[in-house]
């Protein structure tokens, strides 16, 4: 924990939230219309991803030229995990919820700024979903430790 790293995370989060707002993804209709090929198809989410992937991939390629990030602490990039059932199950559950409402975690948090009660209800439900998962995992891990199979 260091002040420069916390400040960098704060600024980065702010840039991210600004980008979400500019991209138009705080509006669930942007998401749901992109997903609706047989109805009011709106390609904007595709443009959002194109812009995001371009810069994100650029940043990744630059990072590979360095041993350490600018503020130290090493690079923590998930690697080597297998493609397993939790990955696919979790992504499927997420996709259903994403399609139902048109909000994913970033816009759910940033969208609180809009002051809409519907976004607030969605985001609180999302936080409960996170807590439910984490408590369930913690219980599972404890059970495994007590009775190894």
Partner 1 sequence: MPWPAYFQSFLGGAVIGLAAAMLLLLNGRVAGVIGAVGEVVEGVLGRVGREFFERAAFVIGLLIGPFVFLAAFGALPDVTVTSSLPVLVAGGLLVGFGTRLSKGCTAGHGVCGLARLSPRSIVAVATFFGAAIVTVFVMEHVI
Report how many residues bind partner 1 under the rule CB under 8 A: 115
Q: Is 130 in the site for partner 1 (CB under 8 A)?
A: yes
The CA distance from 86 to 83, in Å, is 9
Q: Which of 114, 139, 141, 143 binds partner 1 (CB under 8 A)?
A: 114
Query: Residue 36 gets which letter from DSSP?
Result: -
- Of the pair 82, 148, the CB lying nearest partner 1 is at 82
For residue 49, give the nearest of 9, 112, 104 by alpha carbon.
Answer: 104
Q: Is 143 in the site for partner 1 (CB under 8 A)?
A: no
**Shortest reach from residue 131's CB to partner 1, in Å:** 5
**Shortest reach from residue 148's CB to partner 1, in Å:** 23
SS3 of residue 43 by DSSP = coil
Site for partner 1 in 11-50 (CB under 8 A): 11-30, 32, 35-39, 42-45, 47-50
Please list, in sequence order, all residues whose beta carbon lies within 8 angstroms of the beta carbon of residue 113, skipping any fewer than 6 positions away.
17, 21
Phi, psi of 56 (to 5 degrees): -65, -45
Q: Is 145 in the site for partner 1 (CB under 8 A)?
A: no
- Of the pair 22, 143, the CB lying nearest partner 1 is at 22
Residue 73, phi-psi category: left (phi > 0), alpha (psi -120 to 50), beta (remainder): left
- Of the pair 121, 143, the CB lying nearest partner 1 is at 121
The answer to whether the CB of 42 falls within 8 A of the CB of 34 is yes
Site for partner 1 in 62-91 (CB under 8 A): 62-63, 66, 68-79, 81-83, 86-91
């Amino acid at each position: 924990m260091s002040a420069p790293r916390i400040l960098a995370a704060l600024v980065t989060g702010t840039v991210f939230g600004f980008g979400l707002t500019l991209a138009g993804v705080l509006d669930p209709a942007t998401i749901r219309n992109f997903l609706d090929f047989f109805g009011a198809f709106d390609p904007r989410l595709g443009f959002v991803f194109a812009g995001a992937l371009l810069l994100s991939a650029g940043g990744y390629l630059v990072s590979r030229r360095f041993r350490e990030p600018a503020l130290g602490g090493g690079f923590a990039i998930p690697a080597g995990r297998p493609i397993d059932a939790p990955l696919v199950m979790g992504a499927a559950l997420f996709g259903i919820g994403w399609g139902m409402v048109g909000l994913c975690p970033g816009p759910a948090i940033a969208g609180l700024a809009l002051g809409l009660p519907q976004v607030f209800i969605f985001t609180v439900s999302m936080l409960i979903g996170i807590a439910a998962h984490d408590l369930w995992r913690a219980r599972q891990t404890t059970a495994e430790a007590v009775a190894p199979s």
